[in-house]
Each structure stands twice: as structure tokens, then as C-alpha cells.
Amino acid sequence: MNSIPAKNEFAFSGEIGGNIAENIWDSIKSGLILVDSEGKILLWNDWIAQHSGIPAESALNHFLGSLFPDGLAAPFKTALRNVLQHKLPIILSNALHRSPLPLYPLPVAYHKQDRMQQSVIFTPIVTSEKKRLCLIQVTDATLSIKRERVLKSHSERLNKVAITDALTGAYNRRFFDERFTAEFGRAQRQSIPLSLIMLDVDFFKDYNDRYGHPAGDKALISVVEALKSQLHRPTDVVTRYGGEEFAIILPDSGSEGGRIVAEKLRTAVSGLNIPHGTSSVADHLTISIGIVSYQPDTSCNATCFLEAADTALYRAKHDGRNCVRHLVAPECGKPCPVDTPQADSPD
């Protein structure tokens, strides 16, 4: 716990006078506010003065709550109260609290500007006389977000190699295997629905033969883009299961929702209108889709579920292609195979 030393008892050489402290607070490139247990301002550094447009003389010994015309945001007040009561430090992340205080980028013309994005840290301080104080540190979050973005995209590029398919940008089979096992296990444990789509580009081999492999590659890239364009939840991911086969896991989706998505996918790919002269279904590229939905609290296992998706896809092919066929597990028409060690999810 930080304690404020008695006058002149600083951690550095005793020759330095008390004025140095003030110079330090005012030189720091982030905001420092110190308040007592009633919210009265004891320290208001230069950075805060500049970015709030309120000079130190107008702030010191006034109450923080009444200093700003719009008052303080509820989470800020709660945080301050909690720190003074429990004496544990608190963070108000920029992610969840964009701009708790009315601070602005320089030069301040605050009637016309958006508030500065901030991160706020509250630190409890107990004085040698046992008085409770709170130090509020405010930093400009804009810079750290930009830096985070640069770092993240670099490391993401490194990570993604292991789990994405280089050609299409979809996730790869390895990713699918892990993700499917996890999601199926979760659906079972939490008794929530889950849908799995298996789809396949119709007459793809013929397309390659007719238009060449580079064209085939381009077509697959377009197909994946079209599929992704119809999926909006971060948890609905497209994976490349085989050459021209793709699997999409839809967590929390039941039959109704899943079917709607499946139809959207079919339409989106058909809508690309990629000419296919040797398809016997249409004059353009189409896909066949099998979708299976998991019923919570039933005894279906992962292997059976996966097979049911294949069965549904097979039916779509058999029924003329460029269509969606749907199954509900475990009513997939055959008994579930006995659990093999592979089928057991590690959850």
C-alpha cells in the first residue's frame, strides 16, 4: 500500500526540496488527480488542467463531483466509492468505458470536439495519519489502441498460419477438428443446440477440367468469400474440410436458424454467377448443402453427428444438387455407433 511520506521524506536525496514533487506531477504525460474520502481535490496536475480546460486553482479543494457541468459517469462514481471503501485498486478500461471524464485532445475547443478516449486507474492511498485518499491516473488510450492493433495483426499473421487454409483464408481441417470437438462437447454439457453444415461445390472436378486449376482456385476463394458474407457471428466459422468441401459450425443454432443460414449460403454462392458450362444442374457454380442439428439432452455423440452431416450432404447431392437437406440428430435413421476413444470429447 502506498503511504504519503511526511514532508520532505522522499525516497530520493533529502537535499531536493518539496517543489520537485510539483514539477514531477506537472511533467508527467498523463493525468493525476488526488482526492480525499469526500472527493475533495488535493492534486490536479498540469496534464489534467490542460485537457479539461480547468486550471488547478479552480480545481484544488473543490469537489470532483461538482467540478464538471455534466457531473461524473455512474461507473466512475462507483469505482471511486469502492476504492475509498475497500482500498483495492480499480481499472476502468477504455474498452468498456470510452471517456469517463470530460477531457479533450489539445488544443481544447470542447464545445466542438469528441472527448478523448481514456483509460483510468484508481489507486488507494493511506496517509501516515490513516486518512484514505484515492489517486486517479488518466491516460490517453488512443495511442495504445493503435499500437495494440499493430502488434496484434503481426502476431495474428503468425498464429493464423497454423490454422488457416492458405488458398481460401478459411480455417483448415485441423482447426475444424479441434473446434468441432469443443463445440459439440459444450452443446452436450450445457444442453444447448448446435448445427453443423457440410457443403460441397457441385461438379467441381469438371470445373477444374474445363477451366483449369487456377480458375478453380479463384472460384474456391470466391465461394469462401460468399459464405463468409452470410455469417455474422464471430463464432460461426468457415473451415475447408477437403478439396472442395467446407464445414461450418453454428454454435447455439437450432434447426430453424440453421436452415435459414444454409439457404442463405446456397443463394449467396449461386448469386456469384460464376459460369460453369459443364454442370448438369445450372449454368453457373452451385453448392449442395447438408445440415444437421443437435437436439439438447439426447444421446447423440460427435462421430454420429459428423456422419449425419455427411448423410445430409449426400442426400442433397442425390436429390439433384444446388439444394439444402436437413437432419436432426439423433433421429438420423440409424443407431448411434458405440463411443470410440476418438469420439470422446476431452471436455
**What mask, x for binding another protein by CB under 8 A, covers residues 187 to 226?**
---x------------------------------------
CA atoms of 133 and 139, how far apart (whole Å): 20
Indicate whether 234 belongs to the interface with another protein (CB under 8 A).
yes
Indicate whether 148 belongs to the interface with another protein (CB under 8 A).
yes
Catalytic residue among 244, 245, 256, 331: 244
Report, in Å, the least distance between residue 221 CB and another protein: 20
Report, in Å, the least distance between residue 18 CB and another protein: 27
**What mask, x for binding another protein by CB under 8 A, covers residues 64 to 103?**
----------xx--x---x---xxxxxxxxxxxxx-----
Gyration radius of the chain over CA positions: 30
Q: Which DSSP letter does residue 71 get?
A: -
Report, in Å, the least distance between residue 236 CB and another protein: 12
Phi first, then psi: give them for residue 284, nearest 5 degrees.
Answer: -140, 175
Closer to another protein by CB, 74 or 166: give it: 74
9 is catalytic: no
Closer to another protein by CB, 93 or 280: give it: 93
Outline where the chain has alpha helix (H). 19-27, 46-52, 56-59, 64-67, 74-86, 141-163, 173-190, 204-211, 213-229, 255-270, 302-318
For 112-145, give one letter per residue: b (16+ CB within 10 A) or e: eeeebbbbbbbbbbeeeeeeebbbbebbbbeeee
Binding test (CB under 8 A) with another protein, winner from 57, 178, 209, 331: 178
**What mask, x for binding another protein by CB under 8 A, covers residues 28 to 47?**
--------------------
Report, in Å, the least distance between residue 346 CB and another protein: 5
Non-local CB neighbours of 337 within 8 Å, separated by 6+ positions: 301, 303, 304, 343
Could you tell me which residues are beta bridge partners of residue 41? 35
Closer to another protein by CB, 121 or 282: give it: 121
Phi first, then psi: give them for residue 46, nearest 5 degrees.
Answer: -60, -40
Indicate whether 231 belongs to the interface with another protein (CB under 8 A).
no
Q: Residue 226 in contact with residue 272, Cβ under 8 Å? A: yes
Indicate whether 296 belongs to the interface with another protein (CB under 8 A).
no
Closer to another protein by CB, 190 or 229: give it: 190
Report, in Å, the least distance between residue 69 CB and another protein: 23
Phi first, then psi: give them for residue 151, nearest 5 degrees.
Answer: -60, -45
Taking the CB of residue 78, how many other CB atoms lie within 10 A of it? 13
Q: Could you say which residues in the range 155-174 bind another protein, by CB under 8 A?
A: 156
Burial zone of 302 (CB within 10 Å; 0-12 exposed, 13-18 middle, 19+ buried): buried
**Interface segment toward another protein; rule CB under 8 A; list 24-32, 166-174, 178-186, 203-211:** 178-186
Indicate whether 341 belongs to the interface with another protein (CB under 8 A).
no
> Which residue carries 475547443 as its cell?
109
Q: Residue 223 in contact with residue 241, Cβ under 8 Å? A: no
Closer to another protein by CB, 122 or 305: give it: 122
Report, in Å, the least distance between residue 88 CB and another protein: 5
Contact residues toward another protein (CB under 8 A) are 1, 74-75, 78, 82, 86-98, 119, 121, 123-124, 145, 148-149, 152, 156, 178, 182, 185, 190, 234-235, 252, 346-347
| Active-site amino acid positions | 244
